[in-house]
Structure 1
Amino acid sequence: MACVIRAFPAWLLLAALASWPQLALAQQKGEPGRFDHYVLALSWSPSYCEAMGERAEPAQCATARPFAFVVHGLWPQYARGWPESCLSPAPYVPEPVLRSMLDVMPSRRLVLHEWRTHGTCATPDPAAYFDKVRRAYEGVTIPDAFRRLDAYRMVSPGEVEAAFRAANPGLGADMIAVDCDGRRLKEVRICLDRSLGFASCPEVDRRACRAERVVMPPVRGATARP
């Protein structure tokens, strides 16, 4: 039987070659300091505590230490994709630096995980990275309506995004994304340039929550659910 060789369509080959640099960029391990912009991820702590239940970090979820929006991470990003774990082993985080972050990243495990996974792609210096995390967090105004909730609240992702934009002049619609788990609001992701100014990030914006409405659990327990 004769072997039939089919020609690879020229247009498909050209498309594959055109996309290869972006695919390689999104999938490479990465090098410290080589990235395009940051994503500041602000997690709604009550959603994490409720979703995780008994597995949640006590330092974050104990009733004696209630938290609202906390820093999940400051993530170096490419225009498409992102680097991870750029130094292995990751440089040691001095204890004073670690402790200094616990008011906004209320878990030692979270601080160390974010450093290993994301911080090492920003800089080999943990003190410099967490200083930047602090400055990024302090550069964003949390809307008054979301500084504390005493009861469950139903919101639309658009409502949350609009509140953040109103509280932060210059924050455009393509610079912020609201994330959810289908039922709960999980976090707000804000894109920043390397100088920590607001920045456009179409790829992050495309991954935003598509639910019409989601619940925000209260900072302190409530007796009624929506």
Structure 2
Amino acid sequence: MSGFRGMIALASLLALAACSGEEKTPQGKKDPPVSNTTTANTPIISKPATGTRQMTQAVPIGSGFDFYVLSLSWSPSWCLDNDPSGRSMQCDPDNNHGFIVHGLWPQNEQGYPEFCRSRESDRVPEALGRTLFDIMPSMGLIGHEWRKHGSCSGLGQKDYFAVLRAAREKVAIPPALQSVGSNRKTNAADIETALTSANPGLQRDALTVTCASGRVDEVRICFNKDLSFRTCGEIDRAGCKVKSLSLPPTP
């Protein structure tokens, strides 16, 4: 009987020790510590550095030409000659267009290529064209510019129009040239001064103002292929020589 009681006491002591001791993994080994070290098979996921969301992405680089000319048309002048009743989207008075993009033209130091052979279709899909209506409000103009100029950029349609938009967004239009309430007298030098003052790095020999019928017609600005401003003597020399110009009002 005393032997039986001794076995019960021993069993109780063993149970108590098991409850108070450290829990073990199989084979009596502890779980390995968590390591921050990656292995060859572990993908490394890095977070972007602070501020990288604000960085400008590189634009597609074209080929087969020397530089670009961004042509900005003063829409009220064009509409007076081509759509005085305001029936088109560009000239509709509700749209209040000032400068719109006429085109982004691949240019050589002398002359320019045009209507180049391309693997892309001559037709610009409407879905792509509509993405440009805020700066280039005409499918006819968009299609024409692709066929005559974009086809010579060495880029596909999407990349060409992406560069076109990026070039437009590089140019700040000063308030005095955004909305004009009444017909104003000006000259090419005053417009160039306003634009160079609003755009650091843009020099007078990197842009020109054209005119027609005594009115401001277009502003043309020269860019390197990476869309940095650059000089362009041939373009600059072709500017308007009229001393007094009319700047028709926006609708």
Q: Is this a same-fold pair by TM over 0.5?
A: yes
Paired with 1:79 and 1:39, the residues of 2 have a C-alpha distance of 11
The aligned counterpart of 1:87 is 117
Residue in structure 2 matching 1:102, options 133, 138, 143:
133
After TM superposition, give the deviation of residue 183 of structure 1 in Å: 0.5
The aligned counterpart of 2:184 is 153
Give the aligned residue type for 1:158. Answer: A
Conserved 8 A contact 2:205-2:231: yes
The alignment status of 1:68 with 2:98, answered yes or no, reads yes
The alignment status of 1:112 with 2:120, answered yes or no, reads no
CA 1:66/1:170 → structure 2, altered by over 3 Å: closer, same or farther? same
Paired with 2:118 and 2:154, the residues of 1 have a C-alpha distance of 13
Give the aligned residue type for 2:217. Answer: K
Conserved 8 A contact 2:75-2:97: yes
Paired with 2:79 and 2:158, the residues of 1 have a C-alpha distance of 28
Give the aligned residue type for 1:40. Answer: L
TM-score by structure 2 length? 0.72
After TM superposition, give the deviation of residue 51 of structure 1 in Å: 1.8
Q: Which has the larger radius of gyration?
A: 2
**Structural mapping, 1:115-194, within 5 Å:** 115-194=146-225
Paired with 1:57 and 1:43, the residues of 2 have a C-alpha distance of 18
After TM superposition, give the deviation of residue 33 of structure 1 in Å: 2.3
* Percent pairwise identity: 41
For residue 60 of structure 1, give the secondary structure of its aligned residue in structure 2. Answer: coil
Paired with 2:158 and 2:120, the residues of 1 have a C-alpha distance of 13
Per-residue CA deviations over 1:20-69 (Å, capped at 9, x if unaligned) read xxxxxxxxxxxx82000000001100000012245976110011222001
CA 1:215/1:54 → structure 2, altered by over 3 Å: closer, same or farther? closer
For residue 89 of structure 2, give the secondary structure of its aligned residue in structure 1. Answer: helix
Query: Gaps (5+ residues) in structure 1?
Result: 1-31, 221-226
The alignment status of 1:36 with 2:66, answered yes or no, reads yes
Paired with 1:59 and 1:123, the residues of 2 have a C-alpha distance of 30
TM-score by structure 1 length? 0.80
Conserved 8 A contact 1:182-1:211: no
For residue 127 of structure 1, give the secondary structure of its aligned residue in structure 2. Answer: helix
After TM superposition, give the deviation of residue 88 of structure 1 in Å: 6.2
Conserved 8 A contact 1:57-1:107: no
Give the aligned residue type for 1:80. Answer: Q
CA 1:166/1:121 → structure 2, altered by over 3 Å: closer, same or farther? same
CA 1:123/1:94 → structure 2, altered by over 3 Å: closer, same or farther? farther
Conserved 8 A contact 1:191-1:198: yes
Give the aligned residue type for 2:111. Answer: G
The aligned counterpart of 2:13 is none
Give the aligned residue type for 1:152. Answer: N
Pairwise CA RMSD: 1.7
The aligned counterpart of 1:201 is 232
Give the aligned residue type for 2:203. Answer: G
Conserved 8 A contact 1:90-1:116: no
